[in-house]
Amino acid sequence: MTRVPVALRKSVLAGGCGAKIGPGDLAEILKSLPLGDDSNLLAGGRTADDAGVYRLTGEMALVQTLDFFAPVVDDPYDFGRIAAANALSGVYAMGGRPLTAMNIVCFPIRTMEKAFLGAILRGGLEKIHEAGAVLVGGHSVEDPEIKYGLSVTGLVHPDKVLTNAGARAGDAVVLTKPIGTGILATVVKAGLASETAQKRAIETMAALNEKAAEIMSSYSVHACTDITGFGLLGHALEMAVASGVSIVLFPERVPALPDALDMIRTGMLPAGSYANRAYCSRWIRGFESVDPAVQDLLSDPQTSGGLLISLPEGEAPALVSGLTARGVPDAAIIGRVEGDHPGTIGLL
């Protein structure tokens, strides 16, 4: 089976799974741009949400998102599945339904077999079809480093748009997937991860958030986001800031991939972990009292992570029960929302 050459995987080790430009850098850049205003733009560049939402009518709004990155696993087919699931997740996090997708491809066509790209696209197409969406085209460029992802358009009712800005004091916080994909991807590249750990990480990243989004639509969800490159701490902090609340996390309740903590203790962390921790730590209460390995796990940059959901505390147990009963086995209540210390994270 064709594998990703080590030379083409350097960005994964340097930046972590699905590494992104840091939130501080992005905020500094975006604040100087004349983004403009439009009353139909329900979510856009002024927020840290997972997709843009534009109202077309009183009954329909477009959800638009895109994401692409360098390989995080060796197998091209698995890479395609993971990258597509990751891109589709932005629509689910906004409460929407994917409708169409377009491929984004960077590939060294002169030096690598075409079959390799074919396997990537086949994996991505499988996930597009699983989501009930349609591939309508794409764009490719020749590039010495492989990158792949999707631009996705979805639909949502304007009154049912979910953002990261609606969390309310008294809510419970639910996470639908385990974390640890960043560290697992890093140790896989070093040949230190077990076959079982590799398989679990791949299937976790390749799993759509479709089922979780469908189930949560039956509850009074106040806010939602998905966990990707900024890690659990980074995305929880974005929700806290946007909502004007404090989010308290219970680290011992956060689901993690098998072997993730043990692998962290080897010291082989993705660079994204350091960047996330450095940025978030100034707004985290109780950070120093937490095991350093757990600090790294909470900061671990994720690829195609789960949904982070804020909803009334009384509804959270039923949501988790519904999720676990219908094939989202790692869903857990991992925190609560408080009105004190707005724009911060607390760790208990």
Query: What residues act catalytically?
Result: 17
Angle at 4 between CA 135 and CA 257, to 5 degrees: 80
Cα–Cα distance, 17 to 138 (Å, whole number)? 23
SS3 264: helix
Burial class (CB in 10 A: 0-12, 13-18, 19+), 177: buried
Q: Tokens for 193, please give them.
A: 């991860």
CB 61 within 8 A of CB 127: no
Give residue for tokens 């997709």.
Answer: 51
Give residue for tokens 């979510």.
Answer: 43
Question: Both ends of the chain: CA-CA distance in Å?
Answer: 46
What DSSP state is assigned to residue 144?
Answer: S
CB 256 within 8 A of CB 180: yes
Cα–Cα distance, 48 to 8 (Å, whole number)? 30
SS3 24: helix
Helix axes 231-243, 271-280, angle to 10 degrees: 30
Cα–Cα distance, 271 to 279 (Å, whole number)? 13
- From the CB of residue 293, how many other CB atoms can be counted at a distance below 10 Å? 16
**DSSP calls for 88-111:** HHHHHHTT-EEEEEEEEEEE-TTT
